[in-house]
Amino acid sequence: YESAVVPAVDSTAADIADMRTRGAATIADAAAQALETQARASEATTPEAFRSELRAAARTLYETRPTAVSLPNALRYVLRGMEGETVPELRAATIARAEAFQRDLAQAQSTLGEIGANRLRDGDVVMTHCHSTDALACLEAALEDGKAIEAIVKETRPRKQGHITARRLRELGVPVTLIVDNAARRYLDDADHVLVGADSIAADGSVVNKIGTSGLAVNARERGVPVMVAAQTIKLHPDTMTGHTVEIEMRAAEEVLSDAERSDVTGGKPDDQNLRVANPAFDVTPPRHVDAIVTERGQFPPESIVTLMRELFGETTGEPWEP
Ligand code: RUB
């Protein structure tokens, strides 16, 4: 039934793979939306065919980027709601479930924002890395509470998601100092908090987020600047409860070194196999370098996040399309 996957699912998958749609929460939202589109457009005539189509769509979406667990968590949540005896029943249930997921995601982010805002005081300076909608929700709620906030925004090479953060913060009226990543340690002296998001959080409280987060957290600890991770519970990685590790995505060399730059660096021999570029998209910050994980269920010291994971997931494991 693979061929019955509608073009909208393929284009959502391509947008995620190429990072036109990016950031863990936004990816989850887009994936749920794509499953809804598949359910609406399906021409399946039997319940079995409908289920197979939805599972094939989920697999297409899943195979885009490996690190943000919000993607399989979203797919699993929607597919679990695919209940009914007939195609119309299955269709209605899947659409309702996808819509509920998207509603809950938005609600969780705003609840998380209010909780995170309580950690911020009037006049605080916050250092950010990458672009996280969960992190920005905390700043937005603090502003709504009438607190003045300033931001030091790390550029975030190679994709410069810091520019998205800077633009969003300027829209909110926040004064922004944009710095290159290498300047972070120097500017930590001016920061009251480091505030980042997460792509996945492991059962031991390790935080998987944009490459450079772990170095920033180590430097912040050395400088005595608290590190706050804003992450909805959709970022909690169920498989890590049974010893699995989180796969770190390696992205294309061209993001780091353009063809023209490669030619320059190799002295006109762009095929030089001994010039390798390594481009990991994420890294792992150990729990000892994180002060608080802020979720919509409250804030947690990283070491106790596993209690929340057990409560939310029970023994959930396996691929999203497995019944
Ligand atoms: C994005 C990134 C973000 C998290 C959290 O990486 O690391 O910090 O996904 O974002 P990329 P959010 O740009 O490679 O997708 O809070 O919006 O879910």
Q: Is residue 1 pLDDT above 50, yes or no?
A: no
Q: Could you give the angle at the alpha carbon of 24 between the alpha carbons of 5 and 106, nearest 5°?
A: 90
Q: What does the pLDDT average to over 37-53? A: 97
**From ligand 1's centre to the CA of 137, what distance in Å?**
13
Q: How does pLDDT run across 230-283, given as a tens digit for each residue?
A: 999 999 999 999 999 999 999 999 999 999 999 999 999 989 999 999 999 999
pLDDT for 320 equals 66
Q: How does pLDDT run across 147-186, given as a tens digit for each residue?
A: 999 999 999 999 999 999 999 999 999 999 999 999 999 9
Ligand 1 in reach of 65 Cβ (< 6 A): no
Ligand 1 in reach of 73 Cβ (< 6 A): no
Q: Is 189 exposed, middle or buried (0-12, 13-18, 19+ CB in 10 A)?
A: exposed
Ligand 1 in reach of 209 Cβ (< 6 A): yes
- Nearest Cα residue to atom 11 of ligand 1: 23
Assign 314 a pLDDT band (cuts: 50, 70, 90). Answer: confident
Atom of ligand 1 nearest to the CA of 25: 18
ipTM: 0.99
For 30, 203, 209, 231, 302, the CA distances from 307, given in Å and listed in that order, are: 29, 9, 21, 16, 10
Q: Is residue 2 pLDDT above 60, yes or no?
A: no
Assign 322 a pLDDT band (cuts: 50, 70, 90). Answer: low
Atom of ligand 1 nearest to the CA of 109: 16
Assign 288 a pLDDT band (cuts: 50, 70, 90). Answer: very high
Ligand 1 in reach of 210 Cβ (< 6 A): yes
Which domains are assigned to the chain? 2-111 (1.20.120.420), 115-246+280-313 (3.40.50.10470)
Q: How does pLDDT run across 111-129, given as a tens digit for each residue?
A: 999 999 999 999 999 999 9
Catalytic residue among 130, 134, 239, 291: 130
CB atoms closer than 10 angstroms to residue 104: 15
Give the chain's largest Cα–Cα span: 65
End-to-end Cα spacing for the chain: 17
Two structure tokens written together for 173: 């009226």
Q: Are 52 and 63 in contact (CB under 8 A)?
A: no
List 293's β-bridge partners, or say none. 229, 300
Q: Is 138 among the residues known to form the active site?
A: no
List 150's β-bridge partners, or say none. 125
Assign 313 a pLDDT band (cuts: 50, 70, 90). Answer: confident
**Smallest Cα–Cα separation from 240: which of 61, 23, 73, 46?**
73
Catalytic residue among 134, 199, 239, 291: 199
- Tell me if residue 192 falls in helix, strand or coil: coil
Strands (E), 160-249: 176-179, 193-196, 200-201, 207-210, 227-230
Ligand 1 in reach of 64 Cβ (< 6 A): no
Q: Is 204 among the residues known to form the active site?
A: no
Helix (H) or strand (E) segment spanning residue 87: helix 87-117
**Average pLDDT value for the chain:** 96
